[in-house]
Structure 1
């Protein structure tokens, strides 16, 4: 079922088609509302589009905001209960969520507008609509020709009501003749608008209060263009004393024949020649006429050009400043800032994002969350859909001073996460090394810095070493494997019939503090091994094991005997520190843990007691 059908399901206790909570700036249009809402345009909205096409400063400002919004990234996150921070992305808490729930949460986002590339264009166009007519429409439907699911962002001019029956006509972006009629029962029509401060059901935009400066800009621009054209219409008129003897112009029978009066015709011909070709001599040489008069009369010259008003340019700058202040954008974008440099430009950028772009993005995300995502999540079976939201990420827009040194120091001290450190360096979490690369780097570091662990690290890296005999470690803390060599070697059994441990389960060991210490040591070692196994499992496998205690993961994931040393590295540090010098006990506990890991048997206190008794470690604590 298409998402625009899923999220139109009626909610219990709500009106039909309501789809849950309704914002004052977003609503799903129903059959009863289509005639009263769709196609209703106010005069200032039509004038706004005319200003947008004719005033270049307005178009530049609106597109600045639209381009900024298009660079934001939409994501799905969990809402902070106290509202002190933005929603936490699903990707950042995937370890705590099952793969099935993650897929359900992200499915509507991946479907919306065809994915991330389509969502960028969707945000750009929504920003333009909110800044000019103040409202926009999201239309979701199944294309009748291709059968594909489509989301369109339409201006009020592109969506009209057909007059009855709950049907709308949508202008498609394919061509001027591409239109489709849709029934509201088979599509979703979401209206998104900036609410008017007095009547919230009416749309509003910055252009609603900028008509006077925009008309002023239009008039001043027209005055300048007319003045420039008047200066280019010939070089004026020169009078010479004599009888009027203008040269007879060449006759024309075209669409604009030459005037019957020879003087008027000569003036028209001279002006037309200069307009057709600015480099023509007619644009530089005045038209000469001979008039009665004595030879002593001076040559007289008349110009047709209109003098440029000295106040035109200051008036235009003042009108542009008024426009810049009224638009939903920093005035410096249109007017410029004389004292801006690369040291303080990032401050302007951050203020622009927080005060101008983020409120608009928040309005869009509120609309998508309330009218689309939550109803779709509810239909998909997501528990508590009100705890999740679609939100925006503007990290790609922000320009900050170089804080890499401070970030490096904080990361080394453990004060910030890897993701925060990468963000300050200009990278994303996708640039982080995967688990295999991290393991390889750790092995290389061990092989180059620790002589005792170098053979094992090189072997794990695939480096073949000459057989010079196995070195025997004598330090029980560093090499618990060698201490347990006295026990018979345990081969990895099959998972179908795990061999029984050669332990007398009926043996009795002191059940006081000493047994508690040994039980805790075994559980910690099994938990460390369980975390190691989980870190090397896929996301889906980790989701399946989310309910399993970490010290019992070995009962569901079969470890490799060759990985036991790395799996239990550092697992007995506290145990050895609490029982110094008791190497036999250390070896017995390590052998017990390894047998549990290879056989997949659960840890029990009685089982541990029997194993230690069989190993001769059942003496009571002194």
Structure 2
């Protein structure tokens, strides 16, 4: 026996649960005659208004289209109720695959899956807004032997006799009907309960009959007035003293009236209504009268003047209807101060206050009358801990969330898939592993040019100087004594160009200093270390001057934002342009130049080194400085 049949039967020793929502119930054999087919007068009038008042139809479809874009899912209920149910697919590997399959089985079968559920939610919304109730019918199709689900209005389902059967109108055609036994059918009634008598259905149209009739009457009046202005060009009276042309009898489609004047009026009016280009719409009907007419001719118009108060009255009635509907009034009447930047605020309010409560009613009904009984039949432990709920994230997407998605991706808050989706790309556009690795290397080289010599070979770019340095390093590691005798070592690397302030290879990865035995004696190494310490002070002074310039240029806001950042590190946080370097470093080396007269090589090397740090937004390290001075060829000079 199918699970949907099992869940309808009472278990041995167990009575039927009385914890049933007031907005949903499974129709039993005892209830079918008292519930199904009972329609109230206002429900029939609501369908008439829906078909004839375009403002009403637009508002109801607005809410229905919003509900259709929601997605149903199965999730675990939060014990304290502070958040939405957590989806099953977000539980990770904690759930048994067999349990997941049993939880999802009723949802996957309901209405044929996600596409059918979208139409199901749309029809639920329309029915709850017009007659205030709807029926969910599940039965085995005799033609396909597959489970079929229909959402029926009260007009599409009636009770048959007293044998517990219902007759359902199928959507295929007017004559397509099927009789179903409640023993073999799932019949769930959903309704918006009346505030006084909860067993009765209610809808916004129950309280909008007067403004809807007013709007309907005003629209009919405007239409009649417009038609009256198109029924010919009026009547022209000519004095008997004037000799008009004798009109000839017409053989038109309208029969000639016994009164020739009346017949002529009818024929002229019908001709103008059928053909707006007819002469009858422009030339008045001419009649001859005995006696004198003012100035021998007088014209009468049969058109009704359009009342100036009609259009404001109709706008007022439209606002009353918009306020009474279960939707934001601005969505129907429009707002002058809403644009594409603030439109999402209106949308979020409409979703939260109007669409989500309706979806909650539907989900509560499905949980109590369909899912939990089905999970019990399928052997799901603790079915009360699970629920079918709705996801309206597709409705709440704000326009142009690409920058926010990129920032969230950089901070590790979302993955690459959601980021691509927000930017309008598909998962097929994702880079391959090789492309990702190349992109990562390029980003590292751009942010830290000092790592370029070691990373560029990964991109297929070979640097001759790097290859020579690697060969020297290999030779030194293989035969250190030969390297000392020949004078080979890192000091033989080419010096940085004095014309370009770009980061030189000397800003490479900091590593252990060269062995003193390779480059100089112990005393010379101590002198070089002392000189590097003095130059380090000059570099820090220049970087502090540049950092103070960047802070002053940014204003008071930057002073507060970076008050805890040392001045010599400000350039790491704030970017500097090459055309700003001269202004940033003005008078930055005054004390340094005064303390080291006659040392142009050191002056130039330190300046190039500082400029490279500023442009690359790199921190200063003593090892970087020592290598830069060595490559500049200033090792033989004393500070």
Per the normalisation by structure 2, the TM-score is 0.65
Counterpart selection for 1:374 from 372, 375, 389:
372
CA distance in 2, matches of 1:366, 1:328: 19
Task: Tell me the residue number matched to 1:69.
Answer: 67
CA distance in structure 2 between the aligned counterparts of 1:419 and 1:394, rounded to whole angstroms:
21
Q: Deviations 1:156-209 (Å, cap 9, x if unpaired)?
A: 000001131110000000000000000100101100010111111110000010
Asked if the contact 2:102/2:375 (under 8 Å) is kept, the reply is: yes
C-alpha separation between the residues in 1 aligned to 2:266 and 2:438? 90
Which is richer in helix? 2
Determine if the alignment matches structure 1 residue 94 to structure 2 residue 103.
no
SS of equivalent residue, structure 1 residue 185? helix
Q: 1:341 Cα deviation (Å)?
A: 1.1
CA distance in 2: counterparts of 1:444 and 1:202, whole angstroms = 64
Residue aligned with 1:391, SS: strand
Distance, in Å, in 1 between the alignment partners of 2:386 and 2:434 is 35
| Worse-superposed segment, 32-41 or 339-348 | 339-348
State the Cα distance separating 1:298 from its structure 2 match.
3.3
Partner residue of 2:221? 223
- For residues 416 and 363 of structure 2, what CA distance do their matches in structure 1 show? 24
Residue 316 of structure 2: aligned partner: 318
Q: Does 1:235 align with 2:233?
A: yes
**Which residue number corresponds to residue 37 of structure 2?**
39
Give the 3-state SS of the residue equivalent to 2:190 in structure 1.
Answer: strand
- Decide which of 278, 281, 287 is 2:279's aligned counterpart: 281
Q: 1:201 aligns with which of 174, 177, 199?
A: 199
Q: Which has the larger radius of gyration?
A: 2
Structure 1 window deviating more from structure 2 (438-447 vs 75-84): it is 438-447
**Paired residues, what number?**
453
Residue 60 of structure 1, aligned match among 58, 61, 67: 58
| Contact 1:75/1:89, CA 8 A, preserved across alignment | yes
2:422 is aligned with 1:418: no
Runs of 4+ aligned residues of structure 1 deviating over 6 Å after TM superposition are 243-246, 436-440, 442-456
CA contact (8 A) 2:193 2:200 kept: yes
Q: Quote the offset at 1:146 in angstroms.
A: 2.6
- For 1:26 and 1:133, the matched residues in 2 are separated by 15
Which position in structure 1 is the counterpart of 2:354?
356
Question: What CA distance in whole angstroms lies between the structure 2 residues aligned with 1:313 and 1:447?
Answer: 66
Contact 1:3 1:108 in 2 (8 A): no
CA distance in 2, matches of 1:419, 1:11: 49
Shift of 1:445: 6.2
The residue number in structure 2 matching 1:400 is 398
For residues 555-575 of structure 1, what are the alpha-carbon distances to aligned partners after superposition, in whole Å with 9 as ceiling and x for unaligned?
A: xxxxxxxxxxxxxxxxxxxxx
Contact 2:25 2:189 in 1 (8 A): yes
CA contact under 8 A between 1:249 and 1:265: conserved in structure 2? no
Measured after TM superposition, the shift of residue 378 of structure 1 is 1.3
Which residue number corresponds to residue 309 of structure 1?
307
Is it true that 1:249 corresponds to 2:246 in the alignment?
Answer: no
Which residue is equivalent to 1:165?
163
Instruction: State whether structure 2 residue 2 is matched by structure 1 residue 5.
Output: no
Hey, what's the Cα distance between the residues in 2 that align with 1:437 and 1:378?
A: 46
Deviation, 1:398, is 1.1
Cα distance change on mapping 1:124 and 1:40 into 2, 3 Å:
same
- For the residue of structure 1 that corresponds to 2:187, the secondary structure is strand
Residue equivalent to 2:497: none
**Whole-Å separation in 1 of the counterparts to 2:374 and 2:341:** 46
Provide closer, same or farther for how the CA distance between residues 452 and 98 of structure 1 changes in structure 2, counting only shifts above 3 A. Answer: farther
| Equivalent residue for 1:343, pick from 318, 337, 341 | 341
Deviation at 1:431, TM superposition (A): 4.0
- TM-score normalised by the chain length of structure 1: 0.67
Evaluate the alpha carbon distance shift between residue 433 and residue 341 of structure 1 in structure 2; reply closer, same or farther with a 3 A threshold: closer
Compared with structure 1, are the counterparts of its residues 95 and 439 closer, same or farther at alpha carbon in structure 2 (3 Å cutoff)? farther
Partner of 1:258: 256
Residue pairs, 1:497-508, within 5 angstroms: none
Match of 2:78 among 77, 80, 89: 80
After TM superposition, give the deviation of residue 367 of structure 1 in Å: 1.1
Alignment of 1:553-592 (within 5 A): none
Greater CA drift, 270-279 or 140-149: 140-149
| CA spacing shift, 1:382–1:442, aligned 2, 3 Å | farther
Q: Tell me how far 1:408 sits from its aligned partner.
A: 4.2
> Which string of whole-angstrom CA distances, capped at 9 and with x for unpartnered residues, describes residues 379-414 of structure 1?
111111111111111111113265554554454444
8 Å Cα contact 1:26-1:191 kept in structure 2: yes
CA distance in 1, matches of 2:443, 2:411: 24
CA distance in 2, matches of 1:404, 1:452: 34
Aligned partners of 2:408 and 2:156: how far apart in 1?
53
SS at match of 1:174: coil
Question: CA shift at 1:295, angstroms?
Answer: 7.6
Could you tell me how far apart the structure 2 residues matched to 1:363 and 1:296 are?
Answer: 74
Cα separation, 1, equivalents of 2:60 and 2:89: 33
In 2, Cα distance between the equivalents of 1:251 and 1:92?
A: 80
Q: Label 1:312 to 1:455 Cα distance change in 2 as closer, same or farther (>3 A).
A: closer
Q: CA deviation at 1:35?
A: 0.4
Distance 1:214 1:11 in 2: 50
The whole-number CA distance in structure 1 between the counterparts of 2:178 and 2:108 is 25
User: Secondary structure of 2:78's match?
Assistant: coil
SS of residue matched to 1:76: strand
Task: Structure 2 unaligned segments of length 5 or more: list them.
Answer: 445-450, 461-473, 478-639
Question: How much does 1:425 deviate?
Answer: 3.2
Give the whole-Å Cα distance in 1 for the aligned partners of 2:13 and 2:432.
Answer: 54
Asked if the contact 1:4/1:187 (under 8 Å) is kept, the reply is no
Cα distance in 2 between the residues matched to 1:353 and 1:72: 10
**Residues 210-258 of structure 1, C-alpha deviation per residue, up to 9 Å, x if partnerless?**
0011000110011011111111111111100118986242256x7x522
SS of aligned partner of 1:240:
strand
Post-superposition offset of 1:97? 1.1
**What is the rounded CA distance, in whole Å, between the counterparts of 1:174 and 1:114 in structure 2?**
17
Distance in 2 between residues matched to 1:4 and 1:191, nearest whole Å: 16
Structure 1, unaligned stretches of length 5 or more? Answer: 459-470, 475-622
- Distance in 2 (CA, whole Å) between partners of 1:78 and 1:432 is 32
Residues 41, 82 of structure 1: alpha-carbon distance in 2 compared, 3 angstrom cutoff = same
Q: Which range moved further: 436-445 or 342-351? A: 436-445
